[in-house]
Structure 1
Amino acid sequence: MRVHFSTRIFDYQTLRTMAYTTFGGAEPGEVLTTVERIEEGETASWHAEWRETAERTERAADEAAAASRHRTARFAYLRAHNYYRTAEFFLSARDPRRRPTYERCRETFRAGVALLDAPPRRVDLPYEDTTLPGYLFEPPERSGPGPTVICLGGFDSLAEELYFLCGVPEALARGYTVLLFDGPGQGAPLRQRELTARPDWERVVGPVIDALSPYGSVDPDRIGVIGVSFGGYYAPRAAAYDGRIAACVAFDHMHDLWRASAYEHPRLAPLLERVPDVTVNALATAGERFSVEARWLMENSRWVFGVESAAELQRTLRRYSLSGVAGRIDCPMLVLAGEDDHFVPLGLAEEFLEELRAPTTARVFKTEEGAGEHCQVGNLRLATSVVYDWLDETLAGGRENAPSPGPARG
């Protein structure tokens, strides 16, 4: 699906930003007039124009808030958040503009959700010797414990973005308690404390589930996890080692990060495993010179994973695989995939399904549905309906009433 740019990563990020219109995080006219001002493939232009749109939208939100037009202000703040997030996207970790842009992104989100009828609790979740920041949304019309979903972001997402990507308004309307948080390698922990990614996310999610126990809106027998993008690795990994998870959604599947990253280069990838590090690094440097996508992937990967070189990154990515682990999952699984996904090839989905032994439902989204892209950002209404319809059925009675093992695909 092409929106505006011929540069693939620019066009996909445009679609991603516009996708959040579904849940109040964008307006198509604001998105399209912004990208019309951006020079093809120029990341400096990308930042400047998205920043301008974000600032203009934030000013409109401030004016509405000052006039006590709270509903107008709420939606404007949420749109400003999304536009600041997009403005930050291509900045390098060392760029002095990155931290201030992120801070505006986070603060406008908080200003927006503070104006909801039931604002979320801001929570600090235990993690080793520190905490992880999060938001606990509780459905205003439900009293007592009920089903809960924990949303896990991925390689470049923020906890705040998950409000739109995971369809939190839809979840709340169906009576779910929802937890969003940034883990190591994400959001505030990466930007403020340099906490980088780790493969054993059961050690992240486990303490988070512990921290939910005091909240009366959480039924401990009906906890589901939704892993978005690279979270499609994190969520199944947590489910494989934590029996308290009653349902798991891989949105999209991401069971083997190295194989996904090398899928488009089937002849080059095996060669890179045999050549010296200096050659791997030289090839990566050459690629960064000629491709804005390659440059962004390498820069962001070094930052997220805490590595210095392409050779080190290649070895690190191989640690993020569910091969030999997926068979441990015993809760029901929903595996989503898009036939046009350029990050996670559809060909790898079947391999993941073959490894799963738990009751499994698979859904492949088609081009003609407008949902074939990565994380179905062309049709979030369809994708989140599939997710929450499945969770409604799967979490209806808790783990004790979950389907018995035996994969069911469709």
Structure 2
Amino acid sequence: MRVHFRSTAFDYQTLRAMAYTTFDGAEVGEVLATVDRIPDGDAESWYEEWSRTATLVERAADDALDVGRSRTAGHAFHRAHTYYRTAEFFLDPDDERRPPTYERSRETFRAGLNALDVPVERVTFPYEGTTLPGYLFVPSDGDGSATTPRPTVVCLGGFDSLAEELYFLCGVPEALARGFAVVLFEGPGQGAPLREDGLTARPDWEHVVGPVLDELERREEVDDERIALVGVSFGGYYAPRAAAFDGRVAACVAFDHMHDLWRASADDAPRLARAMLYAPDALVNRLAALGERTSVDAGWLMANSRWVFGIDTAAELQRTLREYSLTADARRIDCPTLVLAGEDDHFVPVGLADEFVELVGETAVRRVFRTEEGAAEHCQVGNLTLATDTIYDWLTETLAASRSSPGTVSDSTTGV
């Protein structure tokens, strides 16, 4: 689904920002007015123009708050959050503008929650001598309290998402309206743990999710027999990986699927990718450097990979990506699993979703979103209403049923 740019990375990030209109995290007019000022592929202009929009919208939020218009302020703060996050996106990891822009995205998000009086608690989870930050959202009971044990959705981000962004991408307002408690948190290679503590990604995410589940089991608001994981993008590897090794996960959603990271990355040119596995490191690195110089898409992907994975070269990246595969462990997943995929996903091919469902076995179902539905891009960012309704319909049915009887999804491409 092309929105504005020829550059795939610029255009997808535009669609990603626009998607959050669904949950009041953006406005179409503000997004289109911003990208209209940005030359295709100009990363510096991208930062400047999105920052300009974010600042204007944050100022409007402050003005509304000053005169007591809290809902107006809350909506504007949340739009400003999206625009600051988007502004930061293509900056180099060591760019001095990145920390303050990230901080503005985080603070405007929290200001929006406060202004809108959203029920939320900022939480931390112990992790290997430090802590991981998160948010706990619990719908109120009829008497105004929030102590009834709730089925709970734990949302995991991916390669570049922030916990704050997951509020919109995972449709937290919709989950709360349906009676779910929701946890958003960031692990190694993500958000604050990466930016502030230098924690890089790791493939064995059962050791990241496990401490989160330990803490949730102690919370009276959480029904510890009905905890589901929703993994977004690269989280479509993290969540199923955790489910494969931790029997406390009652249901798992791969939103979208990402069970074999190297094969997904090699899909555009599989023969060349296989050949590069046997090429000398120096050649792999030279070719990658050429791609970085000639393509903003390739440049961002390599820079973010160095940062997230804690590696230096393209040859190292090849070897690292191969560690992120569930091919050998998918059969260990014994909870109901929903695998989402899009026909036009430019990161991961639909065929890998079919393979993953087959590897997991009878507890897995899939939903393929079609071009005509406007939801066929990665993580269904063209139609988040359809995606989140699909997820929460399935979770409602699944968590009410036995672990061996997954809910169904409507999918005319599969007959499920």
Q: Distance in 1 between matches of 2:78 and 2:228?
A: 26
- C-alpha distance in structure 2 between counterparts of 1:214 and 1:351, whole Å: 37
Report whether the alignment pairs 1:221 with 2:230: no
- Matches of residues 288-299 of structure 1 in structure 2 within 5 Å? 288-299=292-303
Q: Is 1:403 matched up with 2:404?
A: yes
2:167 aligns with: 163
Flag the 1:405–1:365 CA change in 2: closer, same or farther, 3 A: closer
Aligned to 2:335: 331
Distance in 2, matches of 1:40 and 1:405, equals 45
1:47 aligns with 2:47: yes
* 1:42-191 mapped onto 2 (5 Å cutoff): 42-141=42-141, 143-191=147-195
Q: Which amino acid aligns with 1:45?
A: S
- For 1:389, give the aligned amino acid: D
Higher alpha-carbon deviation: 353-362 or 26-35: 353-362
Q: 1:349 Cα shift?
A: 1.2
| 1:195 and 2:199 are equivalent in the alignment | yes
Contact kept, 8 Å, 1:118 with 1:140, in 2: the verdict is no
> How far did 1:407 drift?
11
SS in 2 for 1:149: strand
Deviations 1:26-67 (A, max 9, x none): 000000000000011100000000000000000011111111
Distance (whole Å) between structure 2 residues aligned to residue 23 and residue 406 of structure 1:
25
Deviations 1:129-184 (A, max 9, x none): 00001000001236410100000000000000000000000000000000001110
What secondary structure is seen at the aligned counterpart in 2 of 1:178?
strand
Corresponding residue for 2:22? 22
- 1:176–1:405: structure 2 CA closer, same or farther, 3 Å change rule? closer
Deviations 1:295-326 (A, max 9, x none): 00000000000001110111011000001110
Secondary structure (helix, strand or coil) at the match of 1:340 reads coil
Contact 1:358 1:407 in 2 (8 A): no
**1:12 counterpart = 2:16:** no
Equivalent-residue separation in structure 1 for 2:175 and 2:147 (angstroms): 16
Q: CA deviation at 1:404?
A: 4.6
Distance 1:405 1:341, change over 3 A: closer
1:251 counterpart (255, 259, 280): 255
- Mapped to 2, the partners of 1:381 and 1:404 lie a distance apart of 25
Measured in 2, the distance between the counterparts of 1:355 and 1:384 equals 25
* TM-score, structure 2 normalization: 0.96
Native 8 Å contact 2:369 2:376 kept in 1: yes
How many angstroms apart in 2 are the aligned matches of 1:372 and 1:254? 15
Equivalence for 1:242? 246
* Kept after mapping to 2: 8 A contact 1:327/1:358: no
1:31 and 2:35 are equivalent in the alignment: no
**CA 117–405 in structure 1, closer or farther in 2 if over 3 Å, else same:** closer
Distance in 1 of aligned mates of 2:284 and 2:408: 40
**Correspondent of 1:392 among 388, 392, 396:** 396
Q: Check the 8 A contact 2:93/2:307 in 1, yes or no.
A: yes
Please tell me whether the aligned partners of residues 334 and 360 of structure 1 are also in contact (alpha carbons under 8 angstroms): yes
Note the C-alpha offset of 1:406.
12
Within a 5 Å distance, the mapping from 1:210-359 to structure 2 comes to 210-359=214-363
- TM-superposed CA distance for 1:385, in Å, is 0.3
Asked if the contact 1:148/1:219 (under 8 Å) is kept, the reply is yes
Question: Given the two structures, how large is their TM-score scaled by the length of structure 1?
Answer: 0.97
Residue 350 of structure 1 deviates from its aligned partner by: 1.3
Q: Given that residues 394 and 407 in structure 2 are in contact (C-alpha distance below 8 angstroms), is that contact kept between their aligned partners in structure 1?
A: no
Letter in 2 for 1:403: S
Per-residue deviation, residues 247-297 of structure 1 (Å, max 9, x unmatched): 000000000001101110112111101111001100000011111000000
Task: Quickly say closer, same or farther: Cα 1:115–1:407, change in 2 above 3 A.
Answer: closer
Give unpaired runs (5+ residues) of structure 1: none
Tell whether the 8 Å contact from 2:78 to 2:108 is kept in structure 1 after alignment: yes
SS of equivalent to 1:136: strand
8 Å contact from structure 1 (residues 50, 84) kept in 2? yes
Q: How far is 1:373 from its partner?
A: 0.3
Contact 1:330–1:405 (8 Å) recurs in 2: no
Residue-by-residue CA offset, 1:340-390 (whole Å, 9 max, x unaligned)? 000011121111111112411100000000000000000000000000000
Paired with 1:131 and 1:265, the residues of 2 have a C-alpha distance of 40
Aligned-residue offset at 1:91:
0.3
Identity of aligned residues (%): 68
1 CA distance for matches of 2:121 and 2:261?
33
- Give secondary structure in 2 for the equivalent of 1:114: helix
Query: Unpaired segments of 5 or more residues in structure 2?
Result: none
The code of the aligned residue for 2:345 comes to D
- AA partner of residue 33 (structure 1): A
